[in-house]
Amino acid sequence: SAQPPPLRAFIVLSNKDEVIAGNLTEVPQIKEHHDEGQFKTFSLSITLSQQNESETLEQALLEVVELGEYTLYVGRGIGSLYSAQWFAKTFSWIIVVLLCLLSILSFVVAAYVVNRINRMSQTADKIIKTGNLEERLEIDSSWDDLSSLSFVFNHMLDTIEDSVNNIKSVTDSIAHDLRTPLSRLRNTLEKIDDPQLREETTQEADNLLNMFNSLLRISGIETTKQKEGFTQCELNAIALDVIELYQPLAEERDIHLSSELAPIVMQADPNLLFQAIANILDNAIKYSKDGGRVEMELSETTTHITIAVRDNGIGVSEEDIVNLDRRFYRADRSRTSKGNGLGLSLVSAIIKLHNGHLWFVHDPLMQGHGLGVVCSLRK
């Protein structure tokens, strides 16, 4: 079989062109010139001493050195070096491409994980802020650990929601079962001969009946979520009716009741909104000192309608604000006043029925005390 051409070839000639030494029988013949950057390479045709046929070095360096009466020709084949260089470049590009693909894959996986974690965080935060236990995490796969975590999280929410609903159901059942006996009791109390005792006992019975009626109304709004009473209504007209209802009470206590109502029309239940605004304004006046100030504002943006009632009354501490819409919750400062702690719970249920949010602001008039109640309704 044919042997590959040698990497090195040389020949020494006398000044009479006689071969003195070397592994070639004649001077290498230059077939082509190649310019490779700072090197000049050739394609050489050589004839080895052991063979009669010529060989070709496709990529070679050729150096001619004059040594007095002799001339030295040295050729060096570099084809293998070019092959090694090409392999190194190709392998380097493959590594670069693999690294790029690995970086892209890592970025995609990281973005997927961060997105899923952010969705879980947003859902949990939304549940905490709104108290809506019907929210659930979306599960769009089943192969990763985050999907398993989402499934467990949703199962936990199912359990919590069932527990809360059971508690509400027991409360509502008690309220429903006691309302009829209380009504009978009140009718019996009306027969008491002593006028003062009759008035005091019937007043207490009325307070209990109002509490149970409020509980049942909250339950009805939260469970049925019926919107049969929804119609196109003027929200500013409803708010003005509430203000006119409470204006005499405010004047009696020298409370300055002011309003700024933008003309707004929306799809809503006017009776429920009247009840919600009335409850808020009633609290503002009830817990304001004589000579105090209460403001009502009705405004809108491109996406939301806002009802805000602000007062400079006794207010509540910032720690108590988060609990104001809980059933039966009463802050320490308000325990000496009449009430059952269900007014703002009813407001919260009505606002949620209208796809809105209810939140509270400490010291809205910047006087060191007071409370702001803000209802945000989506258009």
Q: Is 126 helix (H, G, I), strand (E, B) or coil?
A: helix
Query: Across the chain, what does the average pLDDT equal?
Result: 80
| Per-residue confidence (pLDDT) for residue 308, from 0 to 100 | 95
CA-CA distance, 365 to 295, in Å (whole number)? 9
More confident residue, 277 or 85: 277
Span(s) in the chain for CATH 1.10.287: 145-224
Q: Is the pLDDT reported for residue 42 higher than 90? A: no
Express each pLDDT in 45-69 by its tens digit: 666 666 566 666 666 777 788 888 8
Residue 303 token pair:
């996406």
Residue 171 token pair:
């409360």
Span(s) in the chain for CATH 3.30.565.10: 231-378
Q: Is the pLDDT reported for residue 2 higher than 60? A: no
Q: Is the pLDDT reported for residue 158 higher than 70? A: yes
Closest CA to 168 of 224, 215, 226: 215
337, 316 contact by CB (below 8 A): no
Express each pLDDT in 197-243 by its tens digit: 888 888 777 777 777 776 677 776 666 666 677 889 999 999 999 99
Residue located via tokens 């009805």: 220
Confidence of residue 78 (pLDDT cuts 50, 70, 90): confident
Fold of 231-378: Heat Shock Protein 90 (3.30.565)
Q: Is 266 helix (H, G, I), strand (E, B) or coil?
A: strand
CATH class of the domain whose range is 145-224? mainly alpha
Closest CA to 362 of 325, 323, 318: 318
Closest CA to 243 of 288, 284, 289: 284
| Per-residue confidence (pLDDT) for residue 171, from 0 to 100 | 66
DSSP string, 301-354: -SSEEEEEEEE-SS---TTTGGGTTSTT---GGGTTSS--S-HHHHHHHHHHHT
| Per-residue confidence (pLDDT) for residue 3, from 0 to 100 | 47
Which of 7-16, 110-119, 181-190, 259-268 has the highest average model confidence (pLDDT)?
259-268
Which of 20-24, 144-148, 308-312, 365-369 has the highest average model confidence (pLDDT)?
308-312
% residues pLDDT > 70 (the chain): 79
Express each pLDDT in 294-351 by its tens digit: 999 999 998 999 999 999 988 888 777 877 877 767 665 554 556 566 778 888 888 9
CA-CA distance, 223 to 209, in Å (whole number)? 21
pTM score of the predicted model: 0.52
| Per-residue confidence (pLDDT) for residue 1, from 0 to 100 | 41
The strand pair at 70-77 and 54-67 is best described as antiparallel
**Which long-range contacts does 135-144 make (Cβ < 8 Å, 24+ apart)?**
none
224 CB-near residues (< 8 Å, 6+ apart): none
Q: Is 221 helix (H, G, I), strand (E, B) or coil?
A: helix
Quick one: average pLDDT of 171-183? 72
